[in-house]
Amino acid sequence: MTNGNPPLTLEQLYRQGRKILAQSPIGEDAGFEAFLLFEKTFHLSREELLTRGGEFPAPLLEAEYRSLLEKRLAGQPLQYLLGEWEFFGHPFAVGPGVLIPRPETELLVELALQHLSSIPSPAVLDLCSGSGCIPISISLERPDAFCAGVELSPEAIPYFKKNLALNHCSRVFLVAGDVLHLPSIPELAGPFHAITSNPPYIPQGDLSHLQQEVQQEPSMALDGGADGLLFYRKLPEIAAARLAPGGLLAMEIGEDQGDAVAALVRQAGFDQVTVHPDPAGHDRVVTGVLKK
C-alpha cells in the first residue's frame, strides 16, 4: 500500500468502491457499478468474490480499480470504462466516439424482426448504425438476411467493425458514408424489406443540458438540428426510394417527437403509421409500411 493505511482485502476494496460510488450521484446503482468495475479489473465472479474475498489484491490491479472508480466519479460513462455493453443479448464494444446501445432501442429491433418474420432471406438497411448494434442484432436473429449498415463517423466505424468480429457476423455489409447522401452502390440500391434507423434526435439547444455521461458521447450521434427533427425530414423519402412495396420503415424517436415524426412518415407515402411506446411507456419508435 502506498497511502500508509493497512492493506485492504478484495472484499474490503470492493465495498470501499461501492461506498464511494454510493456517495456520488450514482446513488443506488453503486453496488452494481462497483461490481462491474471490480469484475473487469480482477476477473472475479460474484461467487469468487465471496470465496476469495479475504485475499489481498495485486497492487497494480488495485491501482487500476481505483483509477476506474475515479474516472467514473468524474462522469465517464460506465459502459466506456467497461469497454463492452450488452444489447439484445449480444456483446458490443463501446468507447469514446460511439453511442452506447440503449435498452429501449431493442424495441426497434423487435419491430423489424416481427415484420420480417414471414419473409424468407430478407434485405435490411440500417442508417446511422454507430456501433452496429441494430443490423448485427437483426442478422444474428436472421442469419438468412442480407443486412447493410451505413455510418459516417470515422470514430464509430472501428467499433462497428470490431462488433462484426466479436459477434462472428459475416452477413452485415458496412458502408462508410453519409445517410443523407447515400453512395450509389448496388448494396444500397434495394429493394429492402425493412429500413431501420436510430438517428440523432436531440434538439441542439438541449445538448448542453444532457446528463454528464451522455455529454461524453459523440454529439454527432445525438445532435438532431435545431428542433431535433433534421433526420426525420429526410429519412422517410430516402427509405421510400429503397423499400419494396409493403416494406417497413422503423425509426427510433425522442419521447415527445411521435406526432411530428408520424406526420413526416405519412407525408412520404407510408401507411399504417404507428408510434410505439417503450417498456417505460415513452413513445420510442415510429413505424410505417410503404404503400403498395
CA–CA separation, 42 and 78 (whole Å): 16
Question: What are the residues facing 92 on neighbouring strands?
Answer: 85
Least distance from C-beta 63 to ligand GLN, angstroms?
32
Contact residues: ligand GLN, CB under 6 A? 102, 198-202, 214, 222, 252
Cell reading at 190: 434495394
Give least dist CB 46 to ligand GLN, A: 30
Residue (132 or 200) nearer to ligand GLN, CB: 200
Output Rg (C-alpha) for the chain, integer angstroms: 22
Select 198 or 287, whichever has its Cβ closest to ligand GLN: 198
Q: Residue 65 or 201: which CB sits closer to ligand GLN?
A: 201
Q: Which is nearer to ligand GLN, 69 or 112 (CB)?
A: 112
- Residue 21 cell numbers, joined: 460510488
Which CB, 81 or 98, lies closer to ligand GLN? 98
Shortest Å, Cβ 79 to ligand GLN: 13
Strand partners, 286: 251, 275
Q: Which residues does 64 contact at the CB level (< 8 Å), separation at least 6?
A: 41
**CB contact at 8 A, 226 and 207:** no
Q: What is the closest distance, in whole angstroms, from the C-beta atom of residue 263 to ligand GLN in the complex? A: 19
Comparison of 17 and 132: residue with beta carbon closer to ligand GLN: 132
Nearer to ligand GLN, 204 or 274 (CB): 204
Query: Which residues are 194's β-sheet partners?
Result: 124, 248
DSSP letter (8 states) at residue 202: B
* DSSP label at residue 289: E
State the nearest-atom distance from the C-beta of 70 to ligand GLN, in Å: 24
Q: Strand ranges (DSSP E) for 29-132? A: 84-87, 90-93, 123-127
How far is CA 180 from each of CA 183, 204, 238, 279, rounded to the nearest angstrom? 9, 18, 8, 30
Q: In whole angstroms, how close is the CB of 281 to ligand GLN at the nearest point?
A: 15
Quote the CA–CA distance of 275 and 259 in Å, as a whole number: 8
Question: Least distance in Å: CB of 111 to ligand GLN?
Answer: 16
> Which residue, 252 or 283, has its beta carbon nearer to ligand GLN?
252
Edge-to-edge strand ranges of the sheet holding 243-252: 172-176, 146-151, 123-127, 192-197, 243-252, 283-290, 270-277
Nearest approach in angstroms of CB 255 to ligand GLN is 9
Q: Does residue 66 sit in helix, strand or coil?
A: helix
